Amino acid sequence: MLPLSVRQLTDIVQGTQLQGHLKGTVTGVAIDSRAIRPGDLFVAFVGTEADGHNFVGSAFERGAVAALVTKHIDGMDPCVNLIRVADPLVAVQRLAVFERTRFGGPVIGVTGSNGKTTTKDMLAAVFSAKGPCLATTANYNNELGMPLTLLGRTEEHQSIVLEMGMRGLGQIAKLASIAQPTAGMITNIGQSHIELLGSQQAIAEAKGELLEALPKSGVAVLNRDDPWLVQIAGKTRARVLWYQLDAPTTTAAAAIASTTVAADARPEGISAESRPVPRDKVDAYASDLVSGQSGVTFTAHVLGDSVHVTLPAHGRHNVANALGALLLGAAHAIPLKAMADALANVRISNGRFQLQTGKNGTHVIDDTYNASPLSTKASLSALRDLAEERPTVAILGDMYELGDTTESGHREVGAYVAELGIDSLFAIGPYSKWTAEAARQAGHTQVHWFEDKESALKAIPDLLPEPAVILVKASRGMQLEDVVRALV
């Protein structure tokens, strides 16, 4: 954050002086006393396992100039600045809003059911081509993490890219009220969190809160291949730009220009009358896709210009994510060639389709960060493209938070494994029994099901074909990174 006096900070967070003289300058914020740097503000949160108030003294020893607390702390040096607040989370959010008002560059919000973190990485790379970009790290995409990201800004940053997570209605609206995004990108509308929201329609409404938050002078970049996004595009006052994976055909162009669409092409619950009129053209698409060991190459066609892109990520879904990033960068006048060069060196966050060398000549794809039917099918397609003539193996665990679609979602994935001709399927977990059953019902013979991860770890190494390419994917709670470690 930019330097701020302790007295100014106290006013901004609506705090009360408990002790100290409110002198000094705050240059950063930390919620872990071990991460304190000289000049930081320490925020004492009370968690389920630890009370931050027990570490206030340690924070001052490390150089904190002030601390936000919710209660008096005995035995403190009377000269240190303790500021009492009613709610430390609200205080951090207020501070982040103030920090945001001092920034005049583009602030990009990115969300989606799948691919938002990878897309965030790509957007950060693209916008870094124009100057230092502040971007979300780790899982800082919630009501605390996003404000802390904003508070990490320095004078050098020329743009900000913020990943926005969501587990219910109103959450993205809250994040957007803090971030005040000038542009936004939504990757897709899937079934993640359907257990909490009840329907895909509700998920679309929740993700659409980002569109509603954009100013009229802003820009929204949306995936034209997702019919839900076509439906909710009318929520925004901002200019809408569309990307899709493949080049639009004459037939597709006519459909895009139409105000209605055939019933079987609309998401369930969307009527022709309620669907907004989309643009009469696609603003970005790809051609000449070639998959390889190190990633994928393609030609990106963006706003009438074209460039060759070498992307160190696998799968057609990541080509789509890259197109969205390029389109949003182009809307901010970043040269296309500079963005392509940046994407060639993009670093994708851990656990998201990372190819590693395994034992006995195998290759292992670590895609264990999370899973849904949509993302798993995309990863399976990428596995098939990447493997070429080598044997393919899918090690798939349970997918959580699917609610009433839990069985159908797992069966959908199992049927897709058979449809793609994946050589071997190893399904792990009680829900994944449906994945195995559906694969067998579709005619797949090399199917193995394990009730838990431990039994799978004992059996899988002896059943793997060589030199296989192995995909490992499941919801985060399955912790299948343990399987990845065993295989590499």
Kindly tell me if the per-residue pLDDT of 18 is higher than 90.
yes
pLDDT band at 179 (very low <50, low <70, confident <90, very high): very high
Phi-psi region of 216 (alpha: psi -120 to 50; beta: other; left: phi over 0): alpha
pLDDT band at 280 (very low <50, low <70, confident <90, very high): low
Q: Where are the domains of the chain?
A: 4-87, 103-343, 354-487
Per-residue pLDDT reduced to its tens digit, 122-160: 999 999 999 999 999 988 999 999 999 999 999 999 999
CATH number given to 103-343:
3.40.1190.10
> How far is residue 160's CA from residue 105's CA, in Å, rounded to a whole number?
8
Kindly tell me if the per-residue pLDDT of 115 is higher than 80.
yes
Residue for token digits 């797992």? 410
Helix count (H) and strand count (E) of the chain?
Answer: 18, 22
pLDDT band at 167 (very low <50, low <70, confident <90, very high): confident
Question: According to the model, what pLDDT value does residue 352 have?
Answer: 85
Largest interatomic CA distance in the chain? 76
Residues contacting 368, CB < 8 A, separation 6+? 351, 472, 473, 474, 476, 478, 479, 480, 481, 483, 484
Kindly tell me if the per-residue pLDDT of 10 is higher than 60.
yes
Per-residue pLDDT reduced to its tens digit, 346-383: 998 887 888 999 998 999 999 999 999 999 999 999 99
Question: According to the model, what pLDDT value does residue 391 have?
Answer: 96
Question: According to the model, what pLDDT value does residue 281 have?
Answer: 76
For residue 32, count other CB atoms closer than 10 A to its CB.
13
Per-residue pLDDT reduced to its tens digit, 203-221: 999 999 999 999 999 999 9
Per-residue pLDDT reduced to its tens digit, 428-467: 999 999 999 999 999 999 999 999 999 999 999 999 988 9
Mean pLDDT of the chain: 92
Kindly tell me if the per-residue pLDDT of 101 is higher than 90.
yes
H-type alpha helices, 3-71: 6-12, 56-61
H-type alpha helices, 5-132: 6-12, 56-61, 88-101, 116-128
Cβ-count burial of 362 within 10 angstroms (0-12 exposed, 13-18 middle, 19+ buried)? buried
> How far is residue 291's CA from residue 110's CA, in Å, rounded to a whole number?
26
Question: According to the model, what pLDDT value does residue 255 have?
Answer: 42
Q: Are 429 and 397 in contact (CB under 8 A)?
A: yes
Give the predicted TM-score (pTM) of the model. Answer: 0.86
pLDDT band at 254 (very low <50, low <70, confident <90, very high): very low
How much of the chain exceeds pLDDT 70, in percent? 93
Kindly tell me if the per-residue pLDDT of 64 is higher than 90.
yes
Question: According to the model, what pLDDT value does residue 388 have?
Answer: 86
Superfamily of the domain at 354-487: Mur ligase, C-terminal domain (3.90.190.20)
Greater confidence (72 vs 278) lies with 72
Kindly tell me if the per-residue pLDDT of 258 is higher than 80.
no
Question: According to the model, what pLDDT value does residue 191 have?
Answer: 78
Strands 295-302, 284-292: pairing is: antiparallel
Question: What single-letter DSSP state applies at residue 51?
Answer: B
Kindly tell me if the per-residue pLDDT of 98 is higher than 90.
yes
> How far is residue 210's CA from residue 205's CA, in Å, rounded to a whole number?
10
Helix, strand, coil share (%) of the chain residues, nearest 5:
40, 20, 40
Question: According to the model, what pLDDT value does residue 5 have?
Answer: 97
Greater confidence (330 vs 251) lies with 330
Question: What are 354's strand-pairing partners?
Answer: 366
pLDDT band at 188 (very low <50, low <70, confident <90, very high): very high
Question: According to the model, what pLDDT value does residue 138 have?
Answer: 85
**Of 3.40.50.300, 3.40.1390.10, 3.30.70.380, 3.40.50.1980, which CATH number belongs to 4-87?**
3.40.1390.10
Per-residue pLDDT reduced to its tens digit, 242-252: 999 999 874 44
- 11-24: average pLDDT: 97
pLDDT band at 272 (very low <50, low <70, confident <90, very high): very low
Per-residue pLDDT reduced to its tens digit, 382-416: 999 999 899 999 999 999 999 999 999 999 999 99
